């Protein structure tokens, strides 16, 4: 599968998996970028400038079809915010990250020895820290909201000892631990409400 097709399927799966959020009145469609220029700007906010400026930018149209907003020459592909989640969560993945995402959406084993990298410098929201396919938070739970972070994909076996919960999002932790899709969430910026050390 080509990177373009991978992202198409990934975005489709993300939209389908999160459909329950909109059905329950969730999502944040009013804040989602609408024009091509807005979507490009939003997608670029996921990664450092040096990475984003050479990235391919893609987005899904109203029919669920993927289109390229801007071709790139670098290793990364970026996409704007997913309106199906409550947070602003543009994302950029390198080629190994795309292969990991392909395995995830196909319920397959990620490629061995291919550690991927993902940027979400605008933060993000996930339905579960434990279930890779959760459509919405379990009863009594809330969305897992994270600040700016980098994802180390397909490398947990080589990075033992990190917490397996998101109770403290200020330190690196494992998301989806105990599954083939476990990955390290590495914060690169603090959110003031979550930071005990913030000056009063």
The pLDDT tens digits of the residues spanning 159-170 come to 777 877 777 777
The closest of 152, 143, 85 to 114, measured between CA atoms, is 152
The CA-based angle 27-66-25, given to 5 degrees, is 10
Contact assessment for residue 110 and residue 85, using Cβ atoms and an 8 Å cutoff: no
Q: Hey, which residues does 144 pair with through a beta bridge?
A: 126
Q: Please tell me the predicted confidence (pLDDT) of residue 166.
A: 72
Q: Please tell me the predicted confidence (pLDDT) of residue 190.
A: 59
Query: What's the Cα-to-Cα distance from 156 to each of 12, 51, 116, 124, 180, rounded to whole Å?
Result: 26, 24, 11, 20, 10
Q: Please tell me the predicted confidence (pLDDT) of residue 165.
A: 76
Per-residue pLDDT tens digits for 89-130: 899 999 999 899 889 989 999 999 899 999 999 998 888 888
pTM: 0.77
Q: Please tell me the predicted confidence (pLDDT) of residue 31.
A: 58
With a CB cutoff of 8 Å and minimum separation 6, the contacts of 128 are 134, 137, 138, 141, 144
Low-confidence ranges of the chain (pLDDT < 50): 1-9, 11-30, 192-200
């Amino acid at each position: 599968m080509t990177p373009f097709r991978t992202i198409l399927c990934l975005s489709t799966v993300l939209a389908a998996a999160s459909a329950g959020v909109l059905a329950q009145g969730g999502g944040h469609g009013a804040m989602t970028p609408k024009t091509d220029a807005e979507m490009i700007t939003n997608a670029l906010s996921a990664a450092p400038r040096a990475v984003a400026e050479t990235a391919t930018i893609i987005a899904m149209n109203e029919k669920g079809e993927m289109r390229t907003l801007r071709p790139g020459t670098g290793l990364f592909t970026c996409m704007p915010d997913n309106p199906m989640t409550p947070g602003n969560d543009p994302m950029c993945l390198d080629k190994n990250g795309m292969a990991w995402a392909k395995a995830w959406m196909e319920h397959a084993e990620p490629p061995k020895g291919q550690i991927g990298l993902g940027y979400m410098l605008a933060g993000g929201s996930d339905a579960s820290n434990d279930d890779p396919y959760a459509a919405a938070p379990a009863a009594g739970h809330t969305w897992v909201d994270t600040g700016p972070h980098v994802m180390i994909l397909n490398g947990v076996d080589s990075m033992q000892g990190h917490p397996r919960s998101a109770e403290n999002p200020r330190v690196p932790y494992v998301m989806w631990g105990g599954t083939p899709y476990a990955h390290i969430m590495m914060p690169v910026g603090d959110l003031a409400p979550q930071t005990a050390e913030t000056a009063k």
